[in-house]
Amino acid sequence: MKKTYQKFLWISYIVLFIVGFLVSVSVIVGTLFLLFSDEDLVLKGLMSTLSCVMLLYLCIQINEIMPPHWQEKKKEFKEEIEIK
């Protein structure tokens, strides 16, 4: 039971990371498209701000997945599963 829960937990975290990554990339690409098109300046400003926020979020998200943190996260997940 614990192993299946742990597998689903890892799969859910991986899926959330992939979805967050794709949303961030789509916002950044959409902003670049708007910058090179002739659209409203307010929309460009909002999309640029949103793009910067998404880029920052993406950097933080990637930093959490890097190998030094990976072992700590794995320990935390094991402890969380043992508690439950």
pLDDT 10s digits, 41-69: 777 777 777 777 877 877 777 766 666 65
Residue 71 is part of which domain span? 17-83
CA distances from 74 to 1, 7, 23, 27, 68 (A): 18, 12, 26, 30, 11
Instruction: Give domain status of residue 1, yes or no.
Output: no
Q: Is the pLDDT of residue 5 over 70?
A: yes
- d(C-alpha 9, C-alpha 80), whole Å: 11
**Overall domain count for the chain:** 1
Asked if residue 33 belongs to a domain, the reply is: yes
On whether residue 46 sits in a domain, the answer given is yes
Residue 5 lies in a domain: no
The verdict on residue 58 lying in a domain is yes
pTM of the model: 0.47
pLDDT at res. 57: 79
The amino acid sitting at 5 is Y
Whole-number pLDDT of residue 66: 62
Q: Is residue 49 part of a domain?
A: yes
Q: Report pLDDT for 68.
A: 62
Task: Count CB-CB contacts under 10 A for residue 48.
Answer: 14
